Structure 1
Amino acid sequence: MGLREFVSDAWSWLNYKPMMTTANTGLPHRALAPAARPGWLPQDAARRLAAYKILAAYDSNQAGELAVLTGNEAGGERREFGDAAAFVNTTLAHLLGRAQQIVAPGAEHAGEEEPTPEADTAAEVQQLLRDWAEKELLPLRMQAAERKAVLLGDAVYLLAWDPEKARVRLRTLDPGFYFPVLDENADPGDYPSKVHLAWEIPEDPARGTKARVRRITYELGPISAATRSMDAGRRNLVADGSGGWLLEPGDTLHSETGRIERTYPWADRPSAVTCYLTDAEWELDDLRLGQQLDDLPLEKAQVKTRADGEVLDRLDLRIDFLPIVHVTNSVSDGEHFGQSALAPVMQALDELAESDTDSARASATTGAPIIGLAGVRAEVDRVTGRPRPLAVEPGTVFQLGDGGRMDVLDTSAQLAELRARVEEVRERAAVNARLPAVSLGTADPSKVPSGYALQLSLGPLDSLVESMRLARAHKYALLFRFVQRLHQAGQAEGWPAGATTPVRLVFGPHTPTDRGAVLEEVVRAVGAGVLSLETGVRMLQEAGYPIDDARAEIERITAGRAPDAEQAPVSPPPAGSSRASKS
């Protein structure tokens, strides 16, 4: 009977848009996803990419243009004034806070008289990571990646060792290029063992290149024997001269199991798993119908070659993890991908655009009102013999006959109602997005009754930020773990060997803080011995005080106390002095 299916997934909040699900195929409109002729795009990724394109259109005030492309001609008159971008930017600013800091727990104890080896290592790794973050412009890359995560729901970091710069390079990728291969029986929140980074390259008649698809694959698999690059653009196994295969240095073959194992610098036991990298391109004309991304024909592939001559055909990276970190905007709820911050308010954004469009039309009739004249003689065009249309301009005088009148259509009342409607919808959208008026900058500070009332109004924003930071805590800890291990694998100078040091990213305060009250609280608590000096300094950091290094600040504080402690105590007066003075 042609009934539509009820679809409930991570992007079902967009089902109200006809462009998201077409009636004949059940897939999104062709304008929302790559229209590759063989259909290399996985079918389960079509809705995700369509959602990304819709969200990007709202962010750049192009939702009306997208509506026209998908068949809605009325979308060309849509007025968009940046409400979606304002919500995204505000959420991003509160998420990141005033500053971000790399912290290794225990590093603040390295300045003590007898620090433990763990404290010294934590302080060393913390400084190395901070220096690396400064060279790699981590705050700027975080801004770019986290804005994608807030807007689209997902962000992707890619790590790679650069032998020329002798450090790990960090890149941010569009989540539309990210295609994980998820096991049907695995938890969607688990780390995948195979990830494709793929995109379509259009044809270029000027250069004579055809349309093609590029796929970069990172895959975990058993360690194999040594391979070498061949002239045919492939890698082949290398014989050892005794009828077997050559092993890479440090690898061990267990004859009873047939497994090849190696011990990584960060591990305390051997592992039989490594990560392979494959980078290749396929011309779309060489693909047959039904050959999707995970099963493209290798015999038709044009394999890429690295700058050092290594063919990227299952190249052993000599690491036991995928150097990709997928950041989600929301806590995993049975889905591998996150949810956009605009998901709860998409229909409110449409209502805002419609109200703004109606207000623009009403303001046109209010600023240039419609005038009706009766009893006036219109001037006749001598060429056509028809009356010329009357033009109303400043200083225009009309001579009316007996009984003549002029009527003006006043639409100012309707315009006022439309403006009130816009404010009503915007306020409701802010409530649903958990962005109070004070965070959007639309509240009058003079009308806030008290600081306690202001703090209560920020409650929804606090819960939103805590939830978003919780979703990212493990991912950034994973990112810093990968950075350490890639430096160890690349034998970078100065990086300690052995187990990976736990490191986390601390976001700054997202709301205005009473720094004076925090300072007074820290002074009282540390002076009374309720809090340690390390905890007090950390509280001052979170309150926004310009303390770059907690350990160095503690050293300066203790060094300033030393002279006072070395002074001889003042002797109390003699026991009878008070009585003698009184007498």
Structure 2
Amino acid sequence: MGLRNFLTDAWSWLNYKPVMAGTHDGRPHRALASELQANWLPEDAVRRLAAYKLLAAYDSNQAGELAALAGNESAAERREFGEPSVFVDTALAHMLGKNQQIIVPGAEHASDDDPSTEAVAAAEVQQHLRDWAEAELLPLRMQAAERKAVLLGDGIYLLAWDPSKSRVRLKTYDPGFYFPVLEDDADPGDFPDRVHLAWETPEDPKQGIKAKLRRITYELGPIAPPTRSVTMREGLAWREPVEDETGGVLLAPGDTHVQETGAIERVYPWAPDRPSAITCYLTDAEWLLEDLRHGQALDDLPLNKATFRTRADGEVLHKLDLQIDFLPVVHISNSIADGEHFGQSSLAKVMQVLDELAETDTDSAKASATTGAPIIGLAGARAEVDRVTGRPRPLAIQPGTVFQLSDGGRMDVLDTSGQLAELRSRTEEVRDRAAINARLPAVSLGTVDPSDVPSGYALQLSLGPLDSLVDSMRLARAHKYVLLLRLVQRLHQAGRAEGWPVGETLAARMVFGPHTPTDRTAILDEVVKGVAANVLSLETGVRMLQDAGYPIEDAREEVRRIQARAALSEVVPRTGPADPEANSDQQVV
């Protein structure tokens, strides 16, 4: 009968859009993106990529254009004034805070009089990570990845060791290229053992380039004997096992063969006491789209028709052993995992409100046209006749126009200013509803006059929904950045970077700055009174000033400076006018 199915999944909040569920089986409309119908695309990724495409259209004010391509002709007149983009940028700015800082617990004790070995090691790793973040422009790359995560629900970081720069390189990818191989019974918080980064490159008839599919694969597997790059007779790059003079298989330096299990084990620098039999393999290949048959899964493309890419040092990227036991890919989720591997966009709950806002803006634009250039009806006016056609010419109304009316003639003007005022009021109402549901109060969007806020306490209460939003977003990312910084340390250890310690990697974390404005003067006064009254320690007070935005780099060092100056002021006598009573006492003695 052609009845549509009731779909409930991670992207069912978009089912109300005809372009999202345009067919009875729930597949997106072809106008959404023709590439979503590609043969190689996994079936479970179609709706996810369609959601990404639709969210990107809202972000770039192209939702009306997309709806028009799907058959809604009236959508071509849709007015879009950028509210989705403002919501995304506001949520992103508050989530990241004013600054981001890498902290290794225990490093603050390295400046003690007798610091422990652990504190010195933590301070050393912390400085190395901060230097790497500055060289790799980490804040800028975080902005790029996190904006994708806030808008689309997901962001991707890719790490790779660069021998020429002797440091780890960080790259961000669009989540539309990300295709993890997930097990049916796997926990959504666990990271998969195999990940694909895949996309199509269009054909170029002028240069004779055909349409291709590129797939970069990172996968964990048992350690195998080493291989080397070779060129086949057909001119294709390949890898083959390295053999000794007798034809036997060799082992890589540092690898050992375990007779009991038959496996090959390796000791990694970050786990010197725990041999591992797992390594990560990298494959980077291309296929011609014409060589792929319908129904071939992305995870099982024919290798005999693939063209493997070659790295700058000549290594063929076909199951290349990276000498690490983890995947150098970090997936950032915008929401806390609840049975789903992928995150949810910050616009998910307000999509229909944004549509209502765009429709109201469209109606307001139409009403403003009739208000600025009103419709006028004339009765008893003589219209000028066109001598060529013999038909009356349309009357042109402009400043200074005079019409001669006959007896009983009149002029009526259609006044739509009242409807325009109502539409503007409706626009503000819908915008407030969108801000409330998105947990972005009007004060955070900058639409509230500061003079309208009765008190600072009232302002703090109004920011309550924003606080909960930022807390949940940061909680969803906390362990991902711990993982990212741990992988950075391990890749530097694997690359034998100078200065990086060998051994267990330390747990570093990313600390985001305050997301709301603070009254620095009030906090300073509070700290001064609290420390003077001995209800706050000097260390706590300095840390409060640091969180408020005062330029204090090291709280521990700042405390030592304050104590040193206080001790010096007690030793050095005060200068100034002499006390007459003190002088008289000295004379008597």
Please indicate the TM-score interval, normalised by the length of the shorter structure.
over 0.9
The residue number in structure 2 matching 1:368 is 373
Rounded to whole Å, the distance in 2 between the matches of 1:125 and 1:580 is: 60
The residue number in structure 2 matching 1:574 is none
Task: Pick closer, same or farther for the CA change 1:565–1:317 going to 2, 3 Å.
Answer: farther
Rounded to whole Å, the distance in 1 between the matches of 2:149 and 2:90 is: 13
Equivalenced residue count is 575
Q: Is the 8 A contact 1:38 1:284 kept in 2?
A: no
Q: Is the 8 A contact 1:266 1:485 kept in 2?
A: yes
Distance apart, 1:549 and its partner CA: 3.4
1:354 counterpart = 2:359: yes
Which of residues 462, 474, 499 in structure 1 aligns to 2:479? Answer: 474
How is 1:117-516 mapped onto 2 (pairs within 5 angstroms)? Answer: 117-232=117-232, 233-267=237-271, 268-516=273-521
1:83 counterpart = 2:83: yes
Return 5+ residue gaps in structure 1 as ranges: 570-577
Deviations 1:368-425 (A, max 9, x none): 0000001111111110011111110110000000111100000011101111110000
Distance apart, 1:527 and its partner CA: 5.8
Of 29-38 and 141-150, deviating more is: 29-38
Distance apart, 1:556 and its partner CA: 3.5
Q: Is the 8 A contact 2:3 2:24 kept in 1?
A: no
Deviations 1:284-326 (A, max 9, x none): 0000110021111111000000010000000000011111111
Q: Is the 8 A contact 1:213 1:283 kept in 2?
A: yes
How is 1:73-112 mapped onto 2 (pairs within 5 angstroms)? Answer: 73-112=73-112
Task: Pick closer, same or farther for the CA change 1:105–1:254 going to 2, 3 Å.
Answer: same
* Identity across the alignment (%): 73
Distance apart, 1:262 and its partner CA: 0.6
Distance apart, 1:531 and its partner CA: 5.5
Distance apart, 1:234 and its partner CA: 1.3
Which amino acid in 2 is paired with 1:2? Answer: G
Distance apart, 1:581 and its partner CA: 12
Which amino acid in 1 is paired with 2:477? Answer: R
Rounded to whole Å, the distance in 1 between the matches of 2:250 and 2:349 is: 57
Q: Is the 8 A contact 2:36 2:49 kept in 1?
A: no
2:144 match: secondary structure: helix
Rounded to whole Å, the distance in 2 between the matches of 1:422 and 1:170 is: 43
Deviations 1:72-131 (A, max 9, x none): 111110000011111111111111111111111111100001101110011111111111
Rounded to whole Å, the distance in 2 between the matches of 1:47 and 1:561 is: 65
Rounded to whole Å, the distance in 1 between the matches of 2:176 and 2:371 is: 45
Rounded to whole Å, the distance in 1 between the matches of 2:230 and 2:488 is: 31
Rounded to whole Å, the distance in 1 between the matches of 2:519 and 2:136 is: 33
Distance apart, 1:529 and its partner CA: 6.3
2:394 match: secondary structure: coil
Task: Pick closer, same or farther for the CA change 1:212–1:61 going to 2, 3 Å.
Answer: same
Distance apart, 1:554 and its partner CA: 4.1
Task: Pick closer, same or farther for the CA change 1:327–1:38 going to 2, 3 Å.
Answer: closer
Rounded to whole Å, the distance in 2 between the matches of 1:498 and 1:357 is: 62
Task: Pick closer, same or farther for the CA change 1:447–1:41 going to 2, 3 Å.
Answer: same
Rounded to whole Å, the distance in 2 between the matches of 1:483 and 1:430 is: 38
Deviations 1:321-349 (A, max 9, x none): 11111111111111101111111110000
Rounded to whole Å, the distance in 1 between the matches of 2:450 and 2:533 is: 36
The list of structure 1 runs, each at least 4 consecutive aligned residues, that deviate by more than 4 angstroms after superposition, is 523-535, 564-569, 578-582
Task: Pick closer, same or farther for the CA change 1:468–1:389 going to 2, 3 Å.
Answer: same
Q: Is the 8 A contact 1:363 1:415 kept in 2?
A: yes
Deviations 1:414-468 (A, max 9, x none): 1011111100000011000011111111112112111111111110000000000
Distance apart, 1:509 and its partner CA: 0.6
Rounded to whole Å, the distance in 2 between the matches of 1:38 and 1:344 is: 30
Q: Is the 8 A contact 2:231 2:238 kept in 1?
A: yes
Rounded to whole Å, the distance in 2 between the matches of 1:272 and 1:353 is: 57
Rounded to whole Å, the distance in 1 between the matches of 2:106 and 2:527 is: 20
Distance apart, 1:526 and its partner CA: 5.2
1:265 match: secondary structure: coil
Deviations 1:130-151 (A, max 9, x none): 1111111111111111111111
Task: Pick closer, same or farther for the CA change 1:501–1:525 going to 2, 3 Å.
Answer: farther
Rounded to whole Å, the distance in 2 between the matches of 1:261 and 1:538 is: 47
The residue number in structure 1 matching 2:69 is 69
Distance apart, 1:524 and its partner CA: 5.1
Q: Is the 8 A contact 1:38 1:291 kept in 2?
A: no
Q: Is the 8 A contact 1:376 1:398 kept in 2?
A: yes
1:547 counterpart = 2:552: yes
Q: Is the 8 A contact 2:270 2:504 kept in 1?
A: yes
Distance apart, 1:580 and its partner CA: 13
Rounded to whole Å, the distance in 2 between the matches of 1:240 and 1:382 is: 103
Task: Pick closer, same or farther for the CA change 1:252–1:164 going to 2, 3 Å.
Answer: same
Distance apart, 1:539 and its partner CA: 2.6
Of 517-526 and 167-176, deviating more is: 517-526
1:16 counterpart = 2:24: no
Q: Is the 8 A contact 1:36 1:284 kept in 2?
A: no
Distance apart, 1:550 and its partner CA: 3.4
Task: Pick closer, same or farther for the CA change 1:439–1:248 going to 2, 3 Å.
Answer: same
Which amino acid in 1 is paired with 2:267? Answer: T
Which amino acid in 1 is paired with 2:193? Answer: S
Deviations 1:221-251 (A, max 9, x none): 1100111111131111111334531111111
Q: Is the 8 A contact 1:304 1:311 kept in 2?
A: yes
Distance apart, 1:553 and its partner CA: 3.2
Which amino acid in 2 is paired with 1:246? Answer: L
Deviations 1:525-547 (A, max 9, x none): 55666665544433322211112
Of 299-308 and 511-520, deviating more is: 511-520
TM-score by length of 2: 0.94
Rounded to whole Å, the distance in 2 between the matches of 1:10 and 1:344 is: 12
2:206 match: secondary structure: coil
1:54 match: secondary structure: helix
Rounded to whole Å, the distance in 2 between the matches of 1:183 and 1:522 is: 53
